[in-house]
Amino acid sequence: MSYTYDYSRPAVCTDTVLFSRHSGEWQVLLIQRRHDPYQGHWALPGGFLDENEDPDLGVARELAEETSLTGIALQPLGFWGHPRRDPRGHTVSLAYWGVVDGNELEPAAADDAKDLAWHPIAALPPLAFDHTSIVAAGRKCLPA
């Protein structure tokens, strides 16, 4: 069955806040965006859900596409949906978080990611979209 509406609807995205401890310091995995908006800026791995895609599968797909990481245990963190969070239009992001041993992983930038790197959460670069607030929310989930 097909439905049409007389009004627009927001797009749905997922973002991943992936933490690791390096030299006793919490760090987060960020990608450098290959495309606009925010081309060249650092951001969380993520992207748009495909039509009829479960968010849990979509977040894993986007993480794999941009970082080559698979099989990572992720938990829902929350959602961000300010109407102006994305200059392309109204998007709602379903954010997920997880903790990994970064020394055991070999992430590689791919797809929309020009580069990637672990960044100390105490000294983040300027982030695209509202990703600073998403990282801050994920930080509250970490053990002291």
Question: What's the pLDDT at 5?
Answer: 85
Question: What's the pLDDT at 1?
Answer: 72
Question: What's the pLDDT at 71?
Answer: 97
Per-residue confidence at 80, pLDDT binned at 50, 70, 90? very high
Q: Confirm if 74 and 60 have CB atoms less than 8 A apart.
A: yes
Distance CA 99, CA 101 (A): 7
Q: What is the mean pLDDT of residues 105-129?
A: 97
Q: What is the mean pLDDT of residues 49-59?
A: 97
Question: What's the pLDDT at 35?
Answer: 96
* Structural tokens at position 43: 């951001």
Question: What's the pLDDT at 2?
Answer: 77
Q: What is the mean pLDDT of residues 95-120?
A: 96
What single-letter DSSP state applies at residue 126? Answer: P
Return the CATH fold of 13-139: Nucleoside Triphosphate Pyrophosphohydrolase (3.90.79)
Q: What is the pTM of this model?
A: 0.95
How far apart, in Å, are the Cα atoms of 119 and each of 9, 40, 81, 144? 34, 16, 25, 18
Question: What's the pLDDT at 95?
Answer: 98
Question: What's the pLDDT at 130?
Answer: 98
Distance CA 143, CA 52 (A): 35
How do the domains of the chain map onto residue ranges? 13-139
**pLDDT of 85 over the 80 cut:** yes
